Amino acid sequence: MGAGPELDFRSCLFLSCWLGEGTAGLRSSWVLLEEKRNGLGKTERGGLSEEKDTRWKMLSSGVCTSTVQLPGKVVVVTGANTGIGKETAKELARRGARVYLACRDVQKAELVAREIQMMTGNQQVLVRKLDLADTKSIRAFAKRFLEEEKHLHILINNAGVMMCPYSKTADGFEMHIGVNHLGHFLLTHLLLEKLKESAPSRVVNVSSLAHHLGRIHFHNLQGEKFYQSGLAYCHSKLANILFTQELARRLKASGSGVTVYSLHPGTVSSELVRHSALMRWIWWLFSFLIKTPHQGAQTSLYCALTEGLEALSGSHFSDCQVTWVSAQARNETVARRLWDVSCDLLGIPVD
- CA 117/CA 101 separation, integer angstroms: 12
Establish whether 302 is a catalytic residue. Answer: no
Question: Cβ contacts of residue 256 below 8 Å, gap of 6+?
Answer: 195, 196, 199
Residue pair 32/52 in contact (Cβ under 8 Å)? The answer is yes
Whether the upstream peptide bond of residue 200 has omega within 30° of 0, thus cis, is yes
Catalytic residue among 100, 166, 233, 302: 233
Q: Which residues pair with 205 in a beta bridge?
A: 157, 262
Query: Coil, strand or helix: which one is 157?
Result: strand
Query: Coil, strand or helix: which one is 103?
Result: strand
- CA 166/CA 105 separation, integer angstroms: 21
Query: Coil, strand or helix: which one is 318?
Result: strand
- CA 117/CA 236 separation, integer angstroms: 33
Positions marked active-site: 233
